Structure 1
Amino acid sequence: MAEQLVELNVTGMHCNNCAMSIHKLLEKKGLHDILVSFASEEVKFSTDDQQVLPEVIKGIESLGFKVVDDAATHQTKFYEKVENKFIFCAIFTAPLLLHMFLPWSFLHNPIVQLLLCLPVFMVGCLHFGKSAYSSVKGGVPNMDVLIFIGSSSAFIYSLVGTVQNLGEHYLFYETCATIITLVLLGNVLEKRSVNQTTSAVKDLMKFQQVNATRVIKNGTEIISAKDVQTGDILLVNEGDQIPVDGEVLSGDASVNESMITGESIPVTKTKYDKIIGGTIIQGGNLRMMATKVGSNSVLSQIISLMKKAQAAKPPVQKLGDKVAAIFVPVVIGIAILTFVLTYFAGGAGLQQSLMNAIAVLVISCPCAMGLATPTAVMVGLGRAAKNGILIKGGDTIEAVANAKYVLFDKTGTLTTGKFGVKDIKVEPGFELEWIRGVIVAIEERSNHPIARSLVKELSSAPQKKVILRSAVEEKGLGMRAIDIDGNNYFLGTAKLSNNDNFNLSLYKNQSLMAQIAIEDTIKSEAAGLIAQLKKAGVTPVLLSGDKASRCEAVAKSIGIKEVHAEKLPEDKLSVVDVYRKKGKTIMIGDGINDSPALTQADVGVSMNDASHIAIQSAKVVLLNTDLQSVVKFLQISKHTLLTIKQNLFWAFAYNIVAIPVAAFGFLNPMVGALTMAFSDVVVIGNSLRLKIKKIN
């Protein structure tokens, strides 16, 4: 039986450790292709036995998480919301803290303090205790273990002091309550920040939640875009969002495709043009036929790619994951050691020794390490997507940021792919107007890009009309045609000329009529891109199947020194291999004839329009074929990696400094809880800065 992909929506994950505990559970159950994302609340895996599903759901829920039908429509119960838990705890914690500043005698009463602390401690036990127990059971202890031990130690110590009436020096109810309340505040801020980091995917998903006007026998009906079937006829009017991918049957309109391509100028769409779901009609109206719906649509593929990319771990994250996995047991060990050394060797009292140990527990924050990479990756991918750049993996970002070589295909990548006639060399006995007429008549029958360019250019020039009886295309050679007088024509690749400038030859009844020199226009921004790459220490290389003379001419005009011309697809593979041995290599091509080389490179970049978005050979798809998006892509990747490194530095440095300070008794547990709560916010805040940061 073939393996099937299972997708589950799981709520309650709030950090990377949560995701790791679910990942470990699924691995133990022998499942494959496991993908757990705490930010998008998704769990995916492959299995050939669907009967294992109830057992898997039960296992996930036993870890303290909840499997729901749809995360978007799932309503969390009032008392389960972390915001409400924080408000409830804050109400009881405030008077406990006030007793330290106010002389009101009833606030100093141990029983009053116990009654104020008890509700907070119960909420903390349910919130952190349940999560701590589940994580230990799952084999990946999380931060909640430290919070639970720290707050419970303070509460039990205070309770013993109250029962035995040992005096106010044994009362630390405010420490217990404050630890719980401040960490809940940290969770609230963390949740809101993580929601912001996933906003790019959520924004795209909103584009799918629209209605469509379907044409039926008696008129029209309004249905949800989710209910549109392939082949349905739809009406889309000015101001409407196109509900699904399709083709225009009638009408014309200007369509804003900026949410797909990043291009702000509207595109005119007329009969037979392809249109993309989620784009908006700014003027005019269309009658369209749905061609791609549901998961086959361009928008669904973009969302799917982004979700996969957000879950793919760059190598730099693996260090953070390894540390986070062993961090909790190590911290508990340090806390115990702190207590033993302070109490027995240091001669401090039980109270001071316990406070030092609790401070060590609550100051530690493996969550910041777990959040360091995924939050930065999500924001980076989101910013890239809004610029029409689809990155198919978080691991791609690291490879791009360290790239040493960028290999470019020529046609359609550095050049526009639109050809112009540079020169027509007419043989004796033939007229230029007649030759133009023959070329137009023949090339009108072909769909080749060169043919379309020639027809467009020559149609406006003086010519004699030629009527053809038939025309057939010979792949890789050219076109053969017969006119109404029975004359045979061939228009194809130049074979006679020793001059590389002439690309095509035209024959009539096997006699040469003319030679045509055509040239591809270099993109206006190509020279600027090459200059920017060189400035960044990246070596640009031209790798093309075109003639050496033309490749050299293009390379010289835009500043590329290393050129590999006349290369077949299999030759390109070996060239890519040579550069990969020297350093990280990016290959940029049109995604079709370059697909083997795109796959072979460290990162393959497809310069393509949205209709070819599903090309699997490239790890990156540039929806906007403007070369400036290549620069933008490299800049976003470098700044995302820089943000990850900054986050990991802050997460590690915080713990390296904070734990010894707490162990030596220089840090109050309450201050520790506050700084711990905000260390997550610092890491996430640094990631969110990437959204608006000026990159160069």
Structure 2
Amino acid sequence: MPPTATPPIPTVDSSEVELSIGGMTCASCSARIEKKLNRLEGVTASVNLATEKAKVSYAAGVEVADLIGTVEKLGYTAEEIVPAPPEATGAAPPLPDTTDLEADALRQRLTVSALLALPVVLMAMVPALQFDNWQWLSLTLAAPVVVWGGLPFHRAAWTNARHAAATMDTLVSVGTLAAFGWSLWALFFGDAGMPGMRHGFDLTVSRTEGSSTIYLEVAAGVISFILLGRYLEARSKRKAGAALRALLDLGAKDVAVLRSGTEVRVPIGTLAVGDHFVVRPGEKIATDGTVLEGRSAVDASMLTGESVPVDVGAGDTVTGGCLNTSGRLVVAATRVGADTRLARIAKLVEDAQTGKAQVQRLADKISAVFVPVVIGLALATLGFWLGNGSGPTAAFTAAVAVLIIACPCALGLATPTALMVGTGRGAQLGILIKGPEVLESTRRVDTVVLDKTGTVTSGVMRLHEVYVAEGVQEHRLLRLAGALEHASEHPVARAVTEGAAERLAAVDGTAQGSTGVDHFEGVSDFVNVAGLGVRGTVAGHAVLVGRERLLTEAGIELPAALGHAKEAAEAQGRTAVVVAWDGAARGVLTVADAVKETSAQAVRELRALGLRPVLLTGDNRAVAEAVAAEVGIDAADVHAEALPQDKVAVVERLRTEGRVVAMVGDGVNDAAALATADLGLAMGTGTDAAIEAGDLTLVRGDLRVAADAIRLARRTLATIKGNLCWAFGYNVAALPLAAAGLLNPMIAGAAMAFSSVFVVTNSLRLRTFR
């Protein structure tokens, strides 16, 4: 298995379920739930703090109710996420979005708390504002902030305490209640309640008499700062998941279905495979299908990232969720519900956002033991300051600062927020990242293996050069050859027909018909000569089109000039088609699988990323080397005439040489190589087998997106690592400062709250990736 493989795949008799988890506030919460679920026999779980979901695989004998019960016993809520029924069209509808409700509740609690806490903080920090009995006004204002404003922290801390656990809520609750409790003692039983009492403010620990010191500004200020951090975090998390919600909202809500020739508008959920439906200009295409009637331009930018609308006509496939910009279309539904391309894209993105990168698993392990260690450190700090004679005020202040500064919420948000934004931005650009493990691989990749047909080239034969014998007009050659080949279904014949029609339309200055028939005469006496070509009568001329041997058997010789043109084309790996009529050779047409216009630029971009491009194809060497030369791949890095098993062997050989290999392909014959490579990039225009085998899916059939995908994945991983470095570094640097008495608890609370905001904001920078 390649290193990018996801954690062990469940056995055949196992099932998977997604649970929506409520009540998580920090990384230690998600780590506790994950650890408890994984202790159940036959259960493998991954809990994501940012998405508030648990992805669980469980063996036979385990019930979903057991999983929910396990989570609830820890003091959290759990609910099974039920997938959309298969008959529903488009992406599965998400659970009701609670982010807005959460943000609204936090905003209300924050607003009240901040308005009450501001005078308390100002009076404590500015002695000039302290009038007689000001401390009692501070108590009156601070008490609602501590009790009501801090209620979510106290409630969570109590729930955790009942289950012998501690989280960041424990640190906030214990710290603020301790500061408030000390203040109450000093006011009612000490000297702090005396009229005329004045109180100075210091950024560091003060060594004053404990009975005359109050910490109401610390209790009220810390809760307000942390509520502000939670509110900004909730808003940022919504922005982080905006791309996925936009995908889920793309689908149409109703559709005009043709019933006995009459249009009937019905809910989207009633649409079935085989139904014919109408899409008018400005409407979204209801589901994946094939165009039966009409021509239009379809805007697929949300799915592919390509801003230019694509022209479609009868026989073309269209994707549900795309916008019909101009003409009226009649479409036959080919896929509905969870089978549609939109639904599968949304599922891939959601799965990627629910997973965890390896670096996050390390963070979770640290967070699981972090809070108990911090509580121990706070007690040790208290003991140290009391032991060296600094007095209870200094000891208490330092201990509270340790509790508050150490909250590990930034650790829990470092990876999932970056992953949410990165995968969402990728979906907008037509790049689907299957899971966080993929990000680890892109950093190490140094070789990229490119399949030729359908990846570097279009996979469709095109007419290239037209060589005519002396005295023969090119448009006459094209009319006769195109007319005869139009009667054949062979790919080479189709290339000749379409190419001739395009060129004749350009010469005549007329619009090309949908099949090019307008430019061709009728054909009679048509005969398909197996393996050699075709012959028939066009406009009274006996015409032959095919291999040179077809002419030889008819007693027709190829002139030297045409013979040289044929040999030169074949040396370049192109197919040469000879045309003759009335007993004489009249010209040579060259046909080849056209290299995509963007492939050469894509190879340059891949090289700029430090990758060595390798071309791998089942075609002959001449064709492969011609394509490689055109896009800028060295001949030494060309592997031709490769069967599917040979492609796997090439990838394995490169890996044994110590290379970390990415494979880009689109066909069934590429699936095994995609799975074998360290990183598989499947072209979304390819087969389902290739897409399933790939780690990254490039929705648009443009090789440049491969370079974009690797850049985005590397940028996302770099953001994750930057977030973790900040989160770890922040706690490592701040804890000693707090323990040393160099941080006032209120300043510590502000710094802790804004560390989480920084991590989320840093992740949101990925939304600007181009």
Instruction: Report the residue type matching 1:359 in the other structure.
Output: A
TM-score normalised by the chain length of structure 1 = 0.86
Q: By how many angstroms is 1:371 displaced?
A: 1.2
The change in CA–CA distance for 1:357 and 1:502 in structure 2 (over 3 A counts) is: closer
Q: Alignment partner for residue 576 of structure 1, among 622, 645, 651?
A: 651
Q: By how many angstroms is 1:275 displaced?
A: 1.5
Instruction: Report the residue type matching 1:310 in the other structure.
Output: Q
Instruction: Report the residue type matching 1:148 in the other structure.
Output: S
Equivalent residue, structure 1, for 2:562: none
Equivalent residue, structure 1, for 2:88: none
- SS of 1:36's partner is strand
The change in CA–CA distance for 1:324 and 1:553 in structure 2 (over 3 A counts) is: same
Instruction: Report the residue type matching 2:755 in the other structure.
Output: S
Instruction: Report the residue type matching 2:331 in the other structure.
Output: M
Is residue 533 from structure 1 mapped to residue 557 from structure 2 by the alignment? Answer: no
- Residues of 1 paired with 2:252 and 2:467: CA distance? 58
Q: Alignment partner for residue 121 of structure 2, among 93, 97, 104?
A: 97
Q: By how many angstroms is 1:302 displaced?
A: 0.7
Q: Alignment partner for residue 342 of structure 1, among 385, 405, 409?
A: 385
- Residues of 1 paired with 2:399 and 2:766: CA distance? 37
Q: By how many angstroms is 1:617 displaced?
A: 0.9
- Residues of 1 paired with 2:99 and 2:273: CA distance? 33
Equivalent residue, structure 1, for 2:354: 311
Q: Alignment partner for residue 623 of structure 1, among 694, 699, 719?
A: 699
- Residues of 2 paired with 1:538 and 1:601: CA distance? 14
| Preserved contact between residue 680 and residue 693 of structure 2 (Cα < 8 Å) | yes
| Preserved contact between residue 20 and residue 52 of structure 2 (Cα < 8 Å) | yes
The change in CA–CA distance for 1:316 and 1:503 in structure 2 (over 3 A counts) is: same
Alpha-carbon deviations, 1:528-559, whole Å to 9, x = none?
Answer: 33233333322111122221222223223332
Q: Alignment partner for residue 366 of structure 1, among 408, 429, 446?
A: 408
- Residues of 2 paired with 1:518 and 1:289: CA distance? 33
TM-score normalised by the chain length of structure 2 = 0.78
- SS of 1:72's partner is coil
Q: By how many angstroms is 1:235 displaced?
A: 2.3
- Residues of 2 paired with 1:138 and 1:519: CA distance? 70
| Preserved contact between residue 215 and residue 235 of structure 1 (Cα < 8 Å) | yes
Q: Alignment partner for residue 460 of structure 2, among 418, 430, 452?
A: 418
Q: Which runs of 5+ in 2 are unaligned?
A: 1-11, 82-93, 193-210, 505-518, 553-565
| Preserved contact between residue 95 and residue 107 of structure 1 (Cα < 8 Å) | no
Equivalent residue, structure 2, for 1:523: 596
- Residues of 1 paired with 2:640 and 2:405: CA distance? 60
Equivalent residue, structure 1, for 2:9: none
Q: By how many angstroms is 1:190 displaced?
A: 0.7
The change in CA–CA distance for 1:98 and 1:458 in structure 2 (over 3 A counts) is: closer
Structure 1 stretch 387-396 or stretch 663-672: which is displaced more?
Answer: 387-396
Q: By how many angstroms is 1:178 displaced?
A: 1.8
Alpha-carbon deviations, 1:391-433, whole Å to 9, x = none?
Answer: 2112212311332111111222222323334579999xxxx99
Instruction: Report the residue type matching 2:268 in the other structure.
Output: A
Q: 1:458-477 to 2 correspondence within 5 Å?
A: 458=500, 467=524
Is residue 329 from structure 1 mapped to residue 372 from structure 2 by the alignment? Answer: yes
- SS of 1:99's partner is helix
Q: By how many angstroms is 1:457 displaced?
A: 2.4
- Residues of 1 paired with 2:165 and 2:336: CA distance? 41
Equivalent residue, structure 2, for 1:647: 723
Alpha-carbon deviations, 1:8-64, whole Å to 9, x = none?
Answer: 333444444433333233323346453433333333334466983334334434444
Equivalent residue, structure 1, for 2:133: 106
Instruction: Report the residue type matching 2:51 in the other structure.
Output: S
Is residue 72 from structure 1 mapped to residue 96 from structure 2 by the alignment? Answer: yes
Instruction: Report the residue type matching 1:104 in the other structure.
Output: F
The change in CA–CA distance for 1:599 and 1:437 in structure 2 (over 3 A counts) is: farther
Structure 1 stretch 548-557 or stretch 402-411: which is displaced more?
Answer: 548-557
Equivalent residue, structure 1, for 2:555: none
Q: Alignment partner for residue 168 of structure 2, among 143, 147, 157?
A: 143
Q: By how many angstroms is 1:368 displaced?
A: 1.0
Q: Alignment partner for residue 670 of structure 1, among 738, 746, 750?
A: 746
The change in CA–CA distance for 1:10 and 1:469 in structure 2 (over 3 A counts) is: farther
| Preserved contact between residue 591 and residue 598 of structure 1 (Cα < 8 Å) | no
Alpha-carbon deviations, 1:342-375, whole Å to 9, x = none?
Answer: 111x221112111101101111132112211221
Instruction: Report the residue type matching 2:313 in the other structure.
Output: T
Equivalent residue, structure 2, for 1:290: 333
- Residues of 2 paired with 1:81 and 1:65: CA distance? 19
| Preserved contact between residue 17 and residue 142 of structure 1 (Cα < 8 Å) | yes
Instruction: Report the residue type matching 2:121 in the other structure.
Output: L
Q: By how many angstroms is 1:212 displaced?
A: 2.3
Structure 1 stretch 434-443 or stretch 352-361: which is displaced more?
Answer: 434-443
Structure 1 stretch 150-159 or stretch 666-675: which is displaced more?
Answer: 150-159
- Residues of 1 paired with 2:689 and 2:427: CA distance? 13
Equivalent residue, structure 1, for 2:763: 687
Q: By how many angstroms is 1:79 displaced?
A: 11
Alpha-carbon deviations, 1:47-104, whole Å to 9, x = none?
Answer: 4669833343344344444446773266987999222222232243233224323223
The change in CA–CA distance for 1:240 and 1:522 in structure 2 (over 3 A counts) is: same
Is residue 57 from structure 1 mapped to residue 132 from structure 2 by the alignment? Answer: no
- SS of 1:555's partner is helix
Alpha-carbon deviations, 1:321-348, whole Å to 9, x = none?
Answer: 232222222222221221111111x221
Q: By how many angstroms is 1:676 displaced?
A: 0.3
How many equivalent pairs are there?
681
Alpha-carbon deviations, 1:133-165, whole Å to 9, x = none?
Answer: 555677874322221221222223233334433
| Preserved contact between residue 654 and residue 661 of structure 2 (Cα < 8 Å) | yes
Instruction: Report the residue type matching 1:402 in the other structure.
Output: R
- Residues of 2 paired with 1:472 and 1:617: CA distance? 40
- Residues of 2 paired with 1:17 and 1:470: CA distance? 76
| Preserved contact between residue 64 and residue 130 of structure 1 (Cα < 8 Å) | no
- Residues of 2 paired with 1:187 and 1:526: CA distance? 46
Structure 1 stretch 432-441 or stretch 291-300: which is displaced more?
Answer: 432-441
The change in CA–CA distance for 1:75 and 1:363 in structure 2 (over 3 A counts) is: closer
Q: 1:378-389 to 2 correspondence within 5 Å?
A: 378-389=420-431
Equivalent residue, structure 1, for 2:735: 659
Q: Alignment partner for residue 454 of structure 1, among 496, 513, 518?
A: 496
| Preserved contact between residue 252 and residue 285 of structure 2 (Cα < 8 Å) | no
- Computing the radius of gyration over CA atoms, which structure comes out larger, 1 or 2? 2
Instruction: Report the residue type matching 1:319 in the other structure.
Output: L
- SS of 1:416's partner is strand
Q: By how many angstroms is 1:181 displaced?
A: 1.9
Instruction: Report the residue type matching 1:655 in the other structure.
Output: N
| Preserved contact between residue 113 and residue 173 of structure 1 (Cα < 8 Å) | yes
- Residues of 2 paired with 1:339 and 1:48: CA distance? 49
Overall identity of the aligned pairs, in %:
33
- Residues of 2 paired with 1:502 and 1:445: CA distance? 20
- Residues of 1 paired with 2:434 and 2:257: CA distance? 34
- Residues of 2 paired with 1:583 and 1:136: CA distance? 51
Is residue 255 from structure 1 mapped to residue 310 from structure 2 by the alignment? Answer: no
- SS of 1:688's partner is helix
Alpha-carbon deviations, 1:564-584, whole Å to 9, x = none?
Answer: 222211111121112224232
Is residue 586 from structure 1 mapped to residue 629 from structure 2 by the alignment? Answer: no
Structure 1 stretch 197-206 or stretch 39-48: which is displaced more?
Answer: 39-48
| Preserved contact between residue 433 and residue 695 of structure 2 (Cα < 8 Å) | yes
Q: By how many angstroms is 1:440 displaced?
A: 6.9
Instruction: Report the residue type matching 1:161 in the other structure.
Output: A
The change in CA–CA distance for 1:558 and 1:306 in structure 2 (over 3 A counts) is: same
- Residues of 1 paired with 2:108 and 2:303: CA distance? 38
- SS of 2:693's partner is coil
- Residues of 1 paired with 2:159 and 2:78: CA distance? 15
The change in CA–CA distance for 1:338 and 1:74 in structure 2 (over 3 A counts) is: closer
Is residue 5 from structure 1 mapped to residue 16 from structure 2 by the alignment? Answer: yes
